[in-house]
Amino acid sequence: MPPVRASFAREITDSVARILTAAVADSAFPGAYAIVGDSRGVLARVGAGRIDWARNAQRPTDRTLWDLASLTKVLATTSAAAQLVEQERINLDAPVQRYLPDWTGPGKDSVTVRHLLTHTSGLPAFRPYDRQTTNRDSIAVLLYNTELERPAGERMVYSDIGAFVLGAVIEKVSGERLDAYFRTHIARPLKLQETMFTPPSFLRVRIAPTEIDTLRGGLVRGAVHDERAYYLGGVAAHAGLFGSGRDLARFATMMLRGGVLDGAHIFSPATIAQFTRYATPDFSNRALGWQKREQPGMRFTTGAPWGGTTMSASAFGHTGFTGTSIGIDPERDLYIILLSNRVNPTRNNNKITAVRRTLTDAVVAVIDAHRGTSANREPPSP
């Protein structure tokens, strides 16, 4: 590593270590792992705490597996949709009913695939269907038949149910179940050896436990935290993926390299640009599947702590309920990944939001101090 690069890599490592160590001391999570890098490679790998509150629990590494929660929406579901759009097998502006003719109900004929990706379909955020039934098929039917709350395009409401319907579109068009599609077309070509749905039991020892759930027999470990995804069998378009820091770094590197990594073509640069720019800049902070930084004048926004206060307008990212996040800033040629199990032992702990922002701003400050903005430095290596 060149001396200048090594210098700011050490600075980033020290800064991230201080923030994560302080967060563990503040009980934001029992443990966490962060990876910072660019298109050239990893700049910093930092673990803090342990994967559980028990004193003899393992320390997190880049091979620890974390419940990625809603990162499933971007890594699996949005990626699959992007590939099928690139192949012209899905039309973003086609009605969902073109692909799912039996998805019917008042107003649903006006809902497009684009509406699902931008969370403007009119579907509600979620429904606690797991309190009505724990039968897989019954929950799937309830999710599929959920009625719209408002006309499509009226406002942005982040929706797990919308993601579920998008997953149904992907499965119908591809002819593959979502987990099989992800494994065949994304994970295997990218050599993501530790990112999967329903991890096998022999990997349980490496998986960070999440919440204590008395209905599921205590501390959840190796099974998806999200209740609807759990009762759907662990494979869902809104949650269900487990993954490691190593694998997420490979995914982020691929995105910064224009959709190609080690000879594997996942997306074209045009597709990445299409899916990661503001979909409607004056309306909401959503891209297609991905989230963007909030901007003045937007009518509907959700917080974007993965971007801190300093990531550029080109940045895109997402968070996961369990305490995970990914932020990618093409202008700075930078990614920041934070993996934690902040819901251990209970989801009633929201300190992760401040940690995400503090971490991102600290990393960006070091990057900018050493190499300035993208306009003042050499372009990234191919």
Is 373 a residue whose pLDDT tops 90?
no
Cα-atom radius of gyration of the chain, to the nearest Å? 20
Is 37 a residue whose pLDDT tops 80?
yes
How far apart, in whole angstroms, are the C-alpha atoms of residue 178 and residue 195?
Answer: 13
pLDDT digits (tens, 9 = 90+) for 337-359: 999 999 999 999 999 999 999 99
Q: Is the residue at 250 inside a domain? A: yes
Tokens of 339: 């993996």
pLDDT digits (tens, 9 = 90+) for 57-107: 999 999 999 999 999 999 999 999 999 999 999 999 999 999 999 999 999
DSSP structural state of residue 350: -
Please state at what angle helix 3-25 crosses helix 352-371, rounded to 10 degrees: 160
Q: What is the dihedral of CA 125, 310, 252, 247, to 10 degrees?
A: -80
Is 130 a residue whose pLDDT tops 70?
yes
Burial 371-380 (b: 16+ CB within 10 A, else e): beebeeeeee
How far apart, in whole angstroms, are the C-alpha atoms of residue 2 and residue 206?
Answer: 34
Look at residue 3 in the predicted model and tell me its pLDDT.
78
Domain with 239 in it: what CATH number? 3.40.710.10
Asked whether the beta carbons of 186 and 192 are under 8 A apart, the reply is yes
Q: Is the residue at 254 inside a domain? A: yes
DSSP structural state of residue 112: B
Three-state DSSP class for residue 172? helix
Q: Is the residue at 129 inside a domain? A: no
In 3D, which of 35, 84, 101 has the Cα closest to residue 63? 35
Cis peptide preceding 345, ω within 30 of 0: yes
> What total number of domains does the chain contain?
1
**Stretch 137-159: mean pLDDT:** 98
How far apart, in whole angstroms, are the C-alpha atoms of residue 17 and residue 316?
Answer: 24
Phi, psi of 284 (to 5 degrees): -155, 170
Task: Find the domain containing 372 and state its range.
Answer: 3-75+179-376
pLDDT digits (tens, 9 = 90+) for 271-325: 999 999 999 999 999 999 999 999 888 999 888 999 999 999 999 999 999 999 9
Is 379 a residue whose pLDDT tops 70?
no
Asked whether the beta carbons of 197 and 33 are under 8 A apart, the reply is no
Q: Is the residue at 253 inside a domain? A: yes
pLDDT digits (tens, 9 = 90+) for 15-33: 999 999 999 999 999 999 9
Is 1 a residue whose pLDDT tops 60?
yes
Q: Is the residue at 263 inside a domain? A: yes
Q: Is the residue at 96 inside a domain? A: no
Look at residue 372 in the predicted model and tell me its pLDDT.
56
Residues 272-279: contacts with CB under 8 Å, at least 24 apart: 272/82, 274/82, 274/85, 275/78, 275/82, 276/314, 276/316, 276/328, 276/330, 279/114, 279/117, 279/118
**51 or 296: whose pLDDT is higher?**
51
Is 326 a residue whose pLDDT tops 80?
yes
Q: Is the residue at 298 inside a domain? A: yes
pLDDT digits (tens, 9 = 90+) for 195-217: 999 999 999 999 999 999 999 99
Look at residue 7 in the predicted model and tell me its pLDDT.
85
The DSSP bridge partners found for residue 48 are 32
Q: Is the residue at 143 inside a domain? A: no
